Structure 1
């Protein structure tokens, strides 16, 4: 069964090392979605990152594959390779042009959300005034459906997520989000959002970030508890994993160019402190520990395989096609 990491972050710098991805490969993960940009990152930062990541994948064909279909991921798994796709966190890099969605898809972006914590002309962010999906946002949803890009509601406010789910003709996911009922934080999502996501055929992938799990040193058991909460409400077929680890690298500064205000994107009132640099993450080895943690929550083998990859693979087959 495919093991699917729904979201992780290398430094947004063209010199970023792929060493963390090698760790995923050796941990038995078959597909990893890596961030290539957020709303605060200009195209002058995003495009060199995409070019570098694509070049690193192409330059190591014995290790990595940039997949078009789930069948590509399955072939990579059989060959001992890691399939790597990209995700975009926010609509500002789309420059208010719906046709940009297909362009990013051609560059390797396989999933996308339309706001990163703050509002923009397309969608509302989870740390801003609720505004819902705009008329341009509805066109962006249609463009993502047409291009075969998975719509991701992470970092997006409740009203916008419900609008996206109602307007999309394809399943919608949260690639890294946790239940608000377990931890009261603006990044976490309500039971209403969880049910609406499941109603599209989508998946809620639990994040491994300490603040959203409500613990200082996150473990596999902490993540499994949040997974069980979602599974109890909508079934294990709508649960996944997106650890959302932020891998740093000494000597690389991947901050956006000035003017850049971390406190705007990660508000102090939400407990972020110095941007997100103080965040703690569940370790990558959590992937090895998750099967046993889920068994302790009463999950059987079929449910574990679905949660750790099968569910996201099902969505990708439908959205990506092929």
Structure 2
């Protein structure tokens, strides 16, 4: 590499740092410990989001087969910890998001992965919303009362699932179709009256895994005004030996070519305790079957690598305004329109 190339590389990195420093950065899905209930030992790891320049993170409080009690206990544990630590702030409105950014605190909201969290009780949706849950996906890999999961035979959105979507729209909770079967997702997108998101889904055209979504769902999501958040899970990104930040940028770029930069964001799905994750995947084979690749070591893009994603987008010719939309502006718009 000659001096000119070195200088150009340094300029890109410096510009990427400036963008992250001066732009709202919103990670729409951070994965908490997968075993509930749990203590608070891991929560100081949230500082890594702040140190990486992230302003807002949505933390999951439950998924899959976890029961209602587990969801509420997890939610209560994290809410209390965040509320007593000055570097963090619970956010439930756009005004909260702005305040957290202005005061240098990490804004924290919550999400739920799967309607098992409500059982058959629609009333629990408003209860979760009142405690800061701002999006919920319908089915986590497996079928449930609301609809089909992406790894089961999907018969579509159920009558109960229809009621779930309507109630979520009523209370101001964003409907998410990540982990959900394609047929159920299409049913949701057809009936939605507010923007729908795929909070953490990658491109099936690049990696043909059932957790990734085809281009037509990307288009239909955008038609609702929604956003697709690209995740940093290696299994869904591409070759294990490739640069993960480049792979994330490639998935972003593919979707941007389809729907433009105003409908793509970040939902990294980063897991802090990889040892616990590996043990849990082995234990829950019905939800994470080996034939879908869950038996391998799963690499993840940490929040510190968001800077490298930005640098890759700059090298691909992206404008600063478009990168800003992808980093956080698009999910902020969703919050304005739905919360």
Give yes or no for the alignment of 1:317 onto 2:339: no
Conserved in 2, the CA contact under 8 Å of 1:152 and 1:174?
yes
SS state of the match for residue 264, structure 1? coil
> What is aligned with 1:106?
130
C-alpha spacing 1:222/1:43, structure 2 compared with 1 (3 Å)? same
* Cross-structure match for 1:97: 121
Give the structure-2-normalised TM-score: 0.88
User: How far 1:293 sits from its partner (Å)?
Assistant: 1.2
Within a 5 Å distance, the mapping from 1:210-221 to structure 2 comes to 210-217=234-241, 218-221=243-246
> Stretches of 4+ moved more than 6 A in 1?
249-254
The residue that corresponds to 1:33 in the other structure is: 58
* Matched residue, 1:151: 175
1:162 Cα deviation after fit: 0.9
Is 2:68–2:119's contact at 8 Å kept on the other side of the alignment?
Answer: no
Return 5+ residue gaps in structure 2 as ranges: 1-22
Counting only pairs closer than 5 Å after superposition, residues 298-317 of structure 1 correspond to structure 2 as 298-317=317-336
Q: Give 1:219 shift.
A: 2.1
Partner of 1:55 in structure 2? 80
Question: In structure 1, how many angstroms separate the alpha carbons of the residues matched to 2:338 and 2:249?
Answer: 27
Tell me how far apart the structure 2 counterparts of residues 251 and 121 of structure 1 sit (CA, whole Å). Answer: 28
Given the superposition, is the C-alpha separation of residues 137 and 305 from structure 1 closer, same or farther in structure 2, using an over 3 Å criterion? same
Aligned position for 1:290? 309
1:173 matched to 2:192? The reply is: no
Taking the aligned partners of 1:254 and 1:53, their CA distance within structure 2 comes to 23
Larger helix percent:
2
CA positional deviation for 1:81 = 0.3
Deviates more, 1:64-73 or 1:242-251: 242-251
Distance of 1:20 and 1:203 partners within structure 2: 27
Q: Deviations over 1:111-132 (max 9, x none)?
A: 1001000001111100000111
Write the mapping of 1:83-94 to structure 2, written as runs, cut at 5 A.
83-94=107-118
Are the equivalent residues in 2 in contact too, given 1:119–1:125 (CA < 8 A)? yes
Q: How many residues matched?
A: 313
Map 1:101-140; keep pairs closer than 5 Å.
101-140=125-164
**Runs of 5+ consecutive residues of structure 1 not aligned to the other structure:** none
- Please state how far the C-alpha of 1:284 moved relative to its aligned partner: 2.1
- Greater Rg by CA: 2
Deviations 1:235-286 (A, max 9, x none): 0101101111111177999959xxx951100112211117xxx311012211
Find the counterpart in structure 1 of residue 251 from structure 2. Answer: 226
Q: Which one of 275, 289, 295 corresponds to residue 273 of structure 1? A: 295
**For structure 1, which segment, 142-151 or 11-20, has the greater mean C-alpha deviation from structure 2 after superposition?**
11-20
SS at match of 2:303: coil
- Candidates 187, 191, 194, aligned match of 2:218: 194
